[in-house]
Amino acid sequence: MMSKFAKATRLIILVAGVALAGCQARAPQASPAELAAKAVALAPGDVRLADLYAHACKACHAVAGSGAPLAGDRAAWAPRAAKGMSGLMGSVVGGYKGMPAGGQCFSCTPADYQALVRFMADQPVN
């Protein structure tokens, strides 16, 4: 028969285990406020791209509630990334719903657009 001490110890281990499992399950999920703060803080590492981004895409893609998928919000970008780079380039160049044609970037090359999409999506886009 188990002692009271052993029972209590098992209970504590069980409770701690459940609590830890809960933390692990929640950890990758950033709150909307955290995602918004992250989007505002993010900038491409490359100087030219950072300049293009700051003067164009950032006006919407770092503004929560703009309808634009936020920079660094991988979950929001996942279904976009699934369209593939050629599909997304069609949206960037031609416009797509609230996304204006060219993304208000007048000196972006096709390579710039692709790099900006990969930066904002924060995941491979092929």
Q: Closer to ligand HEC by CB, 64 or 96: give it.
A: 96
Identify which of 85, 75, 87, 93 has the alpha carbon closest to the alpha carbon of residue 38: 75
Hey, what are 78's tokens?
A: 């996942």
Identify which of 119, 29, 126 has the alpha carbon closest to the alpha carbon of residue 72: 119
- 39 lies in the site for ligand HEC, by CB under 6 A: no
Q: Which of 104, 107, 109, 123 binds ligand HEC (CB under 6 A)?
A: 104
Burial 70-105 (b: 16+ CB within 10 A, else e): bbbbeebbeebbeeebeebbebbeeeeeebeeebeb
Of the candidate spans 4-12, 17-25, 36-44, 53-61, the one that interacts with ligand HEC by CB under 6 A turns out to be: 53-61
The minimum distance between CB 59 and ligand HEC, in angstroms, equals 5
Site string for ligand HEC, 81-100 (x = CB under 6 A): --x----x--xx---xxxxx
- 71 lies in the site for ligand HEC, by CB under 6 A: no
Place of tokens 């060219």: 102
- Residue ranges in contact with ligand HEC by CB under 6 A: 56-57, 59-61, 66-69, 80, 83, 88, 91-92, 96-100, 103-105, 108, 113, 116-117
